[in-house]
Amino acid sequence: MYQLLIMTKKDLHRKRPRTEIPEPTLRRLPRYLHFLQGIWEQGQMNISAPAIARELNYDPTQIVKDLSYTGAVGKPRVGYVTYELIRIIEDFLSLNTKSEAILVGAGNLGSALLSYDNLSGFGIKIIAAFDVAPTKVGTQIGNVSVMHVSRLNELVTRLKVEIGILTTPARIAQEAVDIMVDAKIKAIWNFTPTFLQVPDSVVVQNTSMYANVAILLQRLKELKNKQYGQI
Amino acid sequence: MYQLLIMTKKDLHRKRPRTEIPEPTLRRLPRYLHFLQGIWEQGQMNISAPAIARELNYDPTQIVKDLSYTGAVGKPRVGYVTYELIRIIEDFLSLNTKSEAILVGAGNLGSALLSYDNLSGFGIKIIAAFDVAPTKVGTQIGNVSVMHVSRLNELVTRLKVEIGILTTPARIAQEAVDIMVDAKIKAIWNFTPTFLQVPDSVVVQNTSMYANVAILLQRLKELKNKQYGQI
DNA sequence: TTTTATTAAAGAAAAATATCTTTAATAAAA
DNA sequence: TTTTATTAAAGATATTTTTCTTTAATAAAA
Ligand SMILES: NC(=O)c1ccc[n+]([C@@H]2O[C@H](COP(=O)([O-])OP(=O)(O)OC[C@H]3O[C@@H](n4cnc5c(N)ncnc54)[C@H](O)[C@@H]3O)[C@@H](O)[C@H]2O)c1
Ligand SMILES: NC(=O)c1ccc[n+]([C@@H]2O[C@H](COP(=O)([O-])OP(=O)(O)OC[C@H]3O[C@@H](n4cnc5c(N)ncnc54)[C@H](O)[C@@H]3O)[C@@H](O)[C@H]2O)c1
């Protein structure tokens, strides 16, 4: 897919023209996808943006805009062809080419990810895990072998793995990341609360459950205040 | 648009000043907190917004604005008092009053959360877990007892638990949520990709790892394009 | 003491994102 | 066939969030 690039006056003030997909859109697309897979299994051949909007409680134009990023086109009065839309979103999100990844820190969370059989369902395949604990090294978790961290560099370099998943204790997160970066890992999925220092050539995606708890507790507080008429 | 002369549309919607904390701010505060706890342990008594900004790669005024929501005040040329700031953020995020929660679906992810000893470190204490699998019911995971779902209503009602964590298969997510809502759960932390239907009086916080993978893969793709000068 | 550099805070401006409005396409109903 | 209702798409507007600018406070240096 190739994109038309037109420089607007706005773009002149930017360091580079905008080609990046808005992050909110990227966050919503997987949600649409899951919903679409559901209705497809139920045999629904077509779906309109307003219908999706009603089900997922979004603004209808939001959906149309988001979907237009993927290149999907719909027909007036019919909507989109369900299976086509699924395929287009999957292609757009690179979910069909399973990217190989390694995981460092096979503890509670790491084991959950290793045992999660649907991780490949969204584009990632963990091919090896690394740890230092003698109780972990040498075992298999969810069909993935856990090796000692000292073997990371050799394996990652040889297999040209680009994605690293970080589920170590926060304390040693930076240390583990340095090893990954050294082995030429290009993207890090970080589950620790640590802010990672990496070169510009490496992408970090933080998944902070802390942030989600903060929002949950706050919204709960606001809800209570509203109910007591105190806001 | 003669109304503009008297009162803007914005003002009409806001009879009162905005009380909701912006979600981006809420997402950043836990990150600041983790960083502050780190420097506090290293004995740093004061910290300025620009210093935090350098470490966490944010805009300095962003930090000042975020912190001002919590009520923290800093001194010019000195910054904030580290331990005061930590306490203020913790208070603001309600991390000191541990909220009790129950968990439904003690599988891979559920077990990770039950075994996660630092969950209480950010304000939540899981007091019971529920499942249907005979292999789970009756066991203990991370010092928490796993009971049959049929006992949920009685326990939650009796102990007035307000928070429910959902880690069941996506397929039965709505079913499980209906049971929670019925038991007067007020806030649901949803780890499944399902969009949950709940009454207005219930808050849902979705934690979608899918969304994070989508962003990671996309940014990795963009990075590669940039390096090959193709953007 | 006076000067200087740093900083928080407030406010303005810009950028990003979401929502609303209009238009044209088109399938279904009359 | 003609009419009607629904809808995608494009564009305008509104809102939210981030970044920039100015100001005043103040600790450290001169
Ligand atoms: N468990 C959860 O539900 C949960 C939730 C949110 C965030 N997290 C975060 O995820 C991370 C892991 O949490 P957890 O509960 O799985 O902890 P854990 O202690 O169970 O797992 C950490 C694993 O990392 C391994 N490890 C230690 N040092 C290592 C090293 N130098 N190299 C490689 N591996 C090493 C340990 O042996 C252990 O197996 C933490 O940073 C935590 O904050 C966990
Ligand atoms: N494992 C992960 O790392 C991971 C990552 C992202 C998202 N998720 C999501 O989290 C959810 C759980 O994933 P998982 O890997 O832990 O799955 P899992 O199958 O290991 O766990 C699901 C648990 O729910 C229980 N359960 C089934 N029906 C139930 C019912 N009616 N009432 C109560 N409990 C019931 C099962 O017995 C099982 O113990 C899924 O929706 C998945 O998409 C998991």
CATH number for the domain harbouring residue B123:
3.40.50.720
| Same structural domain, B132 and B199 | yes
- Taking all residues of chain B, what is their mean pLDDT, rounded to a whole number? 90
Position B43 in a domain? yes
| Same structural domain, B88 and B115 | no
Question: CB distance from B96 to chain A under 8 Å?
Answer: no
Question: CB distance from A182 to chain B under 8 Å?
Answer: no
Final residue of a structural domain among B28, B63, B92:
B92
Position B104 in a domain? yes
Q: Say yes or no to pLDDT of A4 above 60.
A: no
Taking residues A184-209, what's their average pLDDT? Answer: 96
Taking residues B212-229, what's their average pLDDT? Answer: 88
According to the model, what pLDDT value does residue B7 have? 33
CATH of the domain at B81: 1.10.10.10
Q: Say yes or no to pLDDT of B14 above 80.
A: no
Q: Say yes or no to pLDDT of B6 above 50.
A: no
Taking residues A127-154, what's their average pLDDT? Answer: 98
pTM beyond 0.75: the answer is yes
Q: Say yes or no to pLDDT of A6 above 70.
A: no
Of A5-9, A42-46, B117-121, B202-206, the poorest mean pLDDT is in A5-9
The domain of B84 spans 2-92
According to the model, what pLDDT value does residue A229 have? 58
Cβ(B112)–Cβ(B90) under 8 Å?
no
| Same structural domain, A115 and A66 | no
Domain count within chain A = 2
Final residue of a structural domain among B92, B127, B158:
B92
Position A217 in a domain? no
Enumerate the residues of chain B whose CB falls inside 8 A of the CB of residue A227: 201
Return the higher-pLDDT residue of A10 and A32: A32
| Same structural domain, B103 and B198 | yes
**CB atoms B93 and A189 under 8 Å:** no
Reported as a single tens digit per residue, the pLDDT across A45-99 is 999 999 999 999 999 999 999 999 999 999 999 999 999 999 999 999 999 999 9
Taking residues B157-185, what's their average pLDDT? Answer: 98
The bound ligand whose nearest atom lies closest to the alpha carbon of B190 is 2
Mutate to test the interface with B, among A185, A203, A221 (most CBs of B within 10 A): A203
Kindly give the number of the ligand 2 atom that is closest to the alpha carbon of B168. 24
Position A220 in a domain? no
